[in-house]
Amino acid sequence: MARKIRSTKRADRRFEEIKEYLTTEFGENTTERFVKRVFSFYDIVTDFPKIGTLVNKEKGIYGFVLEKPVSVFYRVDNKEVIILNFFDNRSGPGKKKY
């Protein structure tokens, strides 16, 4: 059963920040590729919600590397996949915010 995707305000804000950065630094083509990658991930994770790595067992948070510099964190329940945040992997593991 495919679940619906819902994202937090933090995830939405971070996604927009990443798109803005990519457009400024690398151009529209790179931004479009990133956005396609994100939506492809959404399509896959709705059918296979445990595709990511369980990064916080107590909270049920999964992580998935979208591209080398960017990971996405999410939680799964019976009806939806909740996108919690996008993370710049170059920032260092101590700065992760789910």
Q: Write out pLDDT tens, residues 30-55.
A: 999 999 999 999 999 999 999 999 99
Query: Is the CA virtual torsion 66, 93, 28, 5 positive or negative?
Result: positive
pLDDT of residue 88: 83
Does the pLDDT value for residue 86 go beyond 80?
Answer: yes
The pLDDT value recorded for residue 68 is 85
pLDDT band at 93 (very low <50, low <70, confident <90, very high): low
52 and 44 Cβ atoms separated by less than 8 Å = no
CATH 2.30.40.10 fits 4-89, yes or no: no
pTM of the model: 0.87
Q: What is the DSSP string of 27-84?
A: -HHHHHHHHHHHHHHHHHHHH-TT-SEEEETTTTEEEEEEETTEEEEEEE-SSEEEEE
State residue 3 phi and psi, 5-degree precision.
Answer: -95, 165
92: confidence class by pLDDT, cuts 50, 70, 90: low
